[in-house]
Chains A and B, each alone.
Chain A
């Protein structure tokens, strides 16, 4: 069974840093692009970032560009999101997701909550 489990979400002060992790199992992690999507309380989905299967390419939403860094460890089957210079508006539930071909997110974790306050 394909599983994604996010962790690392905590309460942090504005300007602080945090690293989220997403542990995967049940599929060949190193063969797929992975993504982060967030959802602020009571709001819609916001695409955050994508990293290619080998980590060679990374893309970001304008709202996080220059502050967040996506990375992956294909030996440890884990996806990361380094979050720096955090703002109150970064408060959200952060999901990691596995693509099917074409960047469509076919498997999602349950999310981890980041509160910037």
Chain B
């Protein structure tokens, strides 16, 4: 099974900051990676799929990059509504698996 890790586990940032979250797979997954945002009490929302493709309706300040084992999610110009927990997920092979999450909170 493929294990996913994320770093950092939490980050404190200010509005307007650039935030980068890293996700690492235990083996190569090509570009079969998604990023989700989850706010408290809400279902997750898809931000990025296929490592770098922006889901329809998602602001362009979100971007993803990477391939095989190393991936990043970047938020360029953090907005108040971006304070949330972010998860990566590999869909390369079954069982699919999520990273443990990265919480972005207000500095």
Contact B98 A44 (CB under 8 A): yes
**In the bound complex, CA of A44 to CA of B23 (Å):** 15
List CB contacts (< 8 Å) of B8-60 with chain A. 32, 34, 36, 38, 43-46, 49-50, 55
With an 8 A cutoff between CB atoms, is A56 at the interface?
no
Some 18 contacts from A to B, beta carbons below 8 A apart, are A37-B44, A44-B85, A45-B36, A45-B38, A45-B87, A45-B89, A46-B98, A47-B89, A50-B94, A59-B95, A60-B95, A62-B95, A100-B46, A103-B91, A103-B96, A104-B46, A105-B89, A108-B45
Cα(A63)–Cα(B1), bound, Å: 12
User: CB of A61 within 8 A of chain B?
Assistant: yes
How long is the Cα–Cα vector from A53 to B17 in the complex, in angstroms?
42
Interface residues of A in 45-82 (CB under 8 A from B): 45-47, 50, 59-62
Q: How far is the CA of A109 from the CA of B43 in the complex (A)?
A: 7
**Which of A's residues lie within 8 Å of B, judged by CB?**
35, 37, 44-47, 50, 59-62, 95, 100, 102-106, 108-111
Closest 5 CB pairs of A and B: A104-B49, A108-B43, A59-B94, A47-B96, A103-B91
